[in-house]
Amino acid sequence: MVNYTFKGGIHINSPHLAEKLVVKQVPPPEQAVLLLQQKVGGEATPCVQIGDKVLTGQVIAKTLGRYSANIHASISGVVSAIEKRLIPHPSGINGICIVIDSDGKDKWIEIGKYDQDFKNYTPDEVIQKIHEAGVIGMGGAGFPTYTKISNVQDVNTLIVNATECEPGIMCDDSLMQEYSSDIIRGTEVLMYACGSYNSIIAIEDDKQEAYQSLLMSNHNDNISIVQIPVKYTSGAEKILIKILLGIEIPSGEFASDHGVLCQNVATVKAIYDAVIYNKPLVSRIVTVTGSAVKEPRNYEVRLGTSFASVVMQSKPNSNPHNIRIGGMMMGVDVPSVQYPICKITNCIFVNNIKPKSSVQSCIRCGQCNKVCPVGLLPQQLFWYAKSENIDRAMDYNLKDCFECRCCDVVCPSHIPLVKYFSFAKALHSKQTIERQKTDMARERFEFKEYRIERNKTERTDMMAKKKEELKNKMAEDKAQKDKILQAIVRVERSKKG
């Protein structure tokens, strides 16, 4: 168990748990829609064209820069479109996708030579393999893993985050039960790549089967498997570091500034596949749960499979549904199930639509202040956000709010506090951009004024210099003439004499 804890947070019972945690394999889809942009970074650039035949595992889009990820075909077949499609986003926006129609064969690309003894590669080669396999943070963050590893220097501790970040999500629990030895091996690979001698796998204490599986598979004294009490938001990176190591990472600093690298457990499994077997990221485990499905369950799904076909496996009822991607707390509501599974899709909630509670005025009960895990004063932030006094909200560290919704959940007046906070943050970004534009315009004007003044001074100085030079020249000429005259006078005198 751990020695440290954190203030705030809330206890929430996991809703709609699966009866069986065994992962059900979903057959490859007839059509895969692969999104080129991940949550973080730019779009990958397609390296196939419409009509090309592709094999499962083939690179179909390559990274541009350090903040995007390679995309691989998740089925074999023919590229039928490269076009904008609806992507899993609350605002219903489009993103460029490569669409592959299956040939029904699921024929894999020839996997190149690989060496199961990863120490035969250099750490840089290991990171390169992770990069080529298109691995990104699979806990929902979506940050390219090779960039995260290469950004950290002098890692003292690697933390494998095996806490389901939110109640209701079960995919990592299943993953740990089914692939515990791969996760231990993946942790060793990651320790080698980032140069850390120690690693902690943090798991919640209600996941006893997964905990026991990991314990049985672990034969490395430098890897500790630590149980932490179930309390939302213990899976948030900074909070987990505080619980495990007692290190409080100040606002504006990162785990890497303190020699700590955190990776989600599903990412570690993807790293294992990439480094030990050269296998690119073409599938993931997804939880389907919620009040509207008969069989909440975890599925291993090829990327690009439609939400609808995965949700159908859990037998949803025929009522209208509220669809939420990600956790019940920090997930986002989307209008339908017409989206493809992406690398970061860890959970799909399918809930019956409930009438919304009516919002009342703040009664200053202070409940929200007690539960904030980062020590903010949500009540105060609410007043400033509501009155659009954004500077004051920023003085109260609004930027540290990571929108966990603990304050929302406990508010007896049902005030959607986080909506106010995200609005205030957006307004702050807009104001900052406007201020930057104004500052730039002012700087441009001031520079123009300075240039005019400088040119004037330079011209005056130049004129004065020229005048001085002319004066000196005239004086020199006069002296020369005087010398000549004196010489003539001397010559005439000598003639007379």
List residues binding ligand SF4 (CB under 6 A): 362-368, 371-372, 374, 376, 378-379, 382, 401-407, 410-413, 415, 417-418, 421
Min separation Cβ 262 and ligand SF4, Å = 18
Rounded Cα distance between 476 and 452, Å, is 36
Min separation Cβ 328 and ligand SF4, Å = 14
Is residue 149 within 8 Å of residue 303, measured between CB atoms?
Answer: no
Q: What angle do CA 314, 315, 320 make, to 5 degrees?
A: 115
Min separation Cβ 225 and ligand SF4, Å = 28
Task: Strands of 243-398 (E only): list them.
Answer: 260-264, 283-289, 297-302, 321-325, 332-334, 347-352
For residues 48 and 371, which CB has a smaller minimum distance to ligand SF4 in the complex?
Answer: 371
For residues 289 and 379, which CB has a smaller minimum distance to ligand SF4 in the complex?
Answer: 379
Is residue 278 within 8 Å of residue 112, measured between CB atoms?
Answer: yes
Min separation Cβ 169 and ligand SF4, Å = 18
Is residue 292 within 8 Å of residue 17, measured between CB atoms?
Answer: no
What is the SS3 assignment for 381-406? Answer: HHHHHHCCCHHHHHHCCHHHCCCCCH
Q: Which two tokens stand for residue 431?
A: 């104001």
For residues 3 and 358, which CB has a smaller minimum distance to ligand SF4 in the complex?
Answer: 358
For residues 28 and 235, which CB has a smaller minimum distance to ligand SF4 in the complex?
Answer: 235
Min separation Cβ 374 and ligand SF4, Å = 5
Q: DSSP characters for 450-479?
A: HHHHHHHHHHHHHHHHHHHHHHHHHHHHHH
For residues 228 and 404, which CB has a smaller minimum distance to ligand SF4 in the complex?
Answer: 404
For residues 210 and 415, which CB has a smaller minimum distance to ligand SF4 in the complex?
Answer: 415
Place of tokens 């956000």: 385
Question: How does DSSP classify residue 319?
Answer: S
Rounded Cα distance between 350 and 323, Å, is 5
For residues 169 and 292, which CB has a smaller minimum distance to ligand SF4 in the complex?
Answer: 169
Min separation Cβ 379 and ligand SF4, Å = 4
For residues 193 and 368, which CB has a smaller minimum distance to ligand SF4 in the complex?
Answer: 368
Is residue 431 within 8 Å of residue 398, measured between CB atoms?
Answer: no
HSE (side-chain half, CA atoms, 13 Å) at 373: 24
Rounded Cα distance between 83 and 80, Å, is 10
HSE (side-chain half, CA atoms, 13 Å) at 119: 5
For residues 334 and 368, which CB has a smaller minimum distance to ligand SF4 in the complex?
Answer: 368
Q: How far is CA 79 from CA 356, 357, 440, in A?
A: 44, 47, 46
Min separation Cβ 402 and ligand SF4, Å = 5
Min separation Cβ 384 and ligand SF4, Å = 12
For residues 104 and 412, which CB has a smaller minimum distance to ligand SF4 in the complex?
Answer: 412
> Angle, to 10 degrees, between the axis of helix 171-178 and the axis of helix 265-277?
40
